[in-house]
């Protein structure tokens, strides 16, 4: 069972719980996910099965799109609706134009401080565990990129926004920071991830739907090929002799094709074979991941 499921995670469930449920019904030990979603959030959660789990590390740089509801006039401990309200502000004077001007300050590369209640780790312990234990933690700011940030609806005190952003962007922090810039305070009321890399919510399947598919043996209709998340990498095709060398872990030459980085290699018929990485000293491409006996009949 080698492939990727585009799961529409329900709100109120952790990403780990989704993986555990799929592992149980798929009867596959090798199951993992890319791009953790908070329990409150719903939407696209790519879940990797079988040999696909070996490619999760290459999915980290994918951009994402979110549909978020931000409520102004209150600040919470977690920056979202799950936290305790620490302050309130009257929003009668808050206008749409004020929020739209504030949104412009967050487009592009920005420095963002993650929420204290997050899965980021400090000396091996998740920050949320330290915070709940009363330990004072100060998350380090980091650079993230927001490519698009637009307000699609304003119904005081809630602004609905759409966000295209890089990995590592916390929409909870964005909501909190918008509240700070406008002076009214804000928190993330609800969040839906509508895209993660090449996966969109339009072609996702619900958790209940995939459970039914596993019990009726129709899950293959929902599996994407393991290399579908690698479209950003250059692609090369190799002949049978070169493919044999790759399978045996031998570096190969790809003269005139590529000169640096990593690429994905395919053999005749379009079968995905390997991830190759260039060795500048040897001027050879070495197999970093090799895949054998892949099922190529799953849906594209």
Task: Tell me which residues are annotated as active site.
Answer: 38
Q: Which residues lie closer than 8 Å to 180 by C-beta, 6 or more apart? A: none
202, burial (CB in 10 Å: exposed 0-12, middle 13-18, buried 19+): exposed
């Amino acid at each position: 069972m080698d492939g990727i499921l585009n799961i529409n995670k329900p709100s109120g469930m952790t990403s780990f719980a989704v993986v555990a449920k799929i592992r149980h019904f798929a009867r596959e030990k090798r199951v993992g996910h890319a791009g953790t979603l908070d329990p409150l959030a719903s939407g696209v959660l790519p879940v990797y099965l079988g040999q696909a789990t070996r490619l999760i590390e290459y999915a980290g740089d994918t951009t994402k799109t979110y549909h978020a509801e931000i409520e102004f006039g209150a600040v919470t401990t977690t920056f979202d609706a799950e936290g305790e309200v620490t302050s309130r502000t009257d929003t009668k004077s808050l206008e749409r134009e004020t929020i739209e001007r504030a949104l412009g300050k967050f487009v592009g590369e920005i420095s963002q401080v993650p929420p204290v209640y997050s899965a980021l780790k400090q000396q091996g312990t998740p920050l949320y565990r330290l915070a709940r234990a009363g330990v004072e933690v100060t998350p380090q700011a980091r650079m993230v990129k927001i490519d698009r940030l637009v307000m699609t609806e304003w119904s005081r005190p809630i602004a609905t926004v759409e966000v295209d952003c890089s990995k590592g962007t916390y929409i909870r922090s964005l909501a909190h920071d918008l509240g700070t810039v406008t002076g009214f305070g804000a928190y993330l009321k609800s969040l839906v991830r509508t895209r993660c890399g090449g996966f969109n919510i339009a072609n996702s399947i619900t958790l209940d739907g995939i459970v039914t598919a596993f019990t009726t043996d129709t899950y293959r209709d929902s599996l994407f090929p393991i290399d579908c998340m690698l479209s950003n990498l250059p692609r090369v095709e190799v002949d049978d002799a070169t493919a044999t060398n790759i399978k045996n872990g031998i570096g190969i030459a790809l003269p005139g094709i590529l000169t640096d980085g990593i690429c994905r290699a395919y053999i005749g018929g379009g079968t995905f074979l390997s991830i190759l990485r260039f060795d500048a000293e040897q001027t050879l491409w070495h197999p970093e991941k090799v895949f054998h006996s892949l099922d190529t009949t799953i849906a594209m």
